[in-house]
Structure 1
Amino acid sequence: MARIAATRTLSIAAAVLVALVAASSLKPAAANNDVDALTALRKGLSDPDGALTSWDPRLATDPCEWFHVTCDGANRVTRLDLAKHRLSGTLAPELGQLDQLQYMEIYGNNIQGQIPSELGGLTILVSLDLQDNSISGPIPATLGNIKSLKFLRVSHNRLTGPIPRELAGLPNLRVADFSSNNLCGAIPATGALKNIPPNSFANNPRLHQGGAYVPSC
């Protein structure tokens, strides 16, 4: 009986060990995705003020120790605060790997290039603030996949093309600002965009009130 009990104890201990190893292997993998995403962002940016100096895996492998990064209890990145740091360059598509990100605040810089369509994969994002940059190209229709989005600010950039009608389907959108760009076509007048004030679309000479569907422009 003692031998059977010992065998059972060893089996239970082995099962617990396997579970712990499995759990520990999952956490670094997710954290590594966050490190890869932030490292890719860092490589694509010029940082004259040194705001991203701490973003170096050789100095600290945990991104939760990097400046302007906030994490949750599981050491996953939930917030980026990179406003007004004179950053220039482009936004990395790898940002779409930050699947626990809730706030992306990168306004008041000189970011160029386009908004990566991969940001549409940030399914629990609450706030996307990219205003006051030099971002060009279209607003990705994939942003309409972020059903948790409440705040979308892309004003004072160089965005072109129509406002995607997919954004009208965002159930939680409360604040949106598309002003001072080069957007064109009709403003979708349904869903979440129906109650956005007119000044949020101002200073887009080719943008106008229209029907529910955005025409080509």
Structure 2
Amino acid sequence: MTLLTNDIQDRLAKLLVEEGLVQESKIELAIKEAGLNNQSLMSYMIEHKLLDNEILVHATSHVSGIPYVNLENTTIPQETLDLISVDIAERNMAVPIAEVQGRIAVAMLDATNIQAVDYLSSLIQRPLKVFMASQNSIKHVLDQYKTDLSGVDALAENVDAQKQAEAESKRQVQTIVQDSPISKALNTILEYAVRAKASDIHIEPLEKSLKIRCRIDGVLREIM
């Protein structure tokens, strides 16, 4: 699993300075402070808002080789979300998105945080395939947790009067989820992207279909 080694951290710092995105003095201070606080450079920069989140995520993805995925228009199946509780997802800014080649694909704001990756892998008890995602992408998926939880709360208020009907409804929903192609589609898309060594993955829902684009060898290609 590729994570932020000292070499990659140095390349990230160099890239940000060369592109004029952050002053060299600020990068040097950030590296020093991050080390003292046992943080990755990216985590420190996010916390202290030294650079626009989207730019920082793309830059880190570029130098680390961790692929970037855009989830701002993507709906994640409930059975996938259930792999990580909402409080842990919010605390780590990390959300499960699919299963890829026997591993659970997790999108993270800071996929270079090896402690967080190890913790999530231990929690799920499965090996992980990590992806970089922007703050907006992570929040979009976190909002799906909240939508599901609000639905559960509404049902709970009427549980005594509707207990039998609710049980039947739950069985029906479970059957629908298991038969739904959404989870399989996400798995297939991400598996293809991993095999093709795509650096960016963009999933855009249209009225009657999905537009899937992957950046392969520097070229953004439509694959679906």
Whether these two folds match at TM > 0.5 is no
Considering Cα pairs closer than 8 Å and 6+ residues apart, tell me whether 1 or 2 has the greater RCO: 2
Q: TM-score normalized by structure 2?
A: 0.25
Q: Which has the higher helix share?
A: 2
Q: TM-score normalized by structure 1?
A: 0.25
Rg larger for: 1
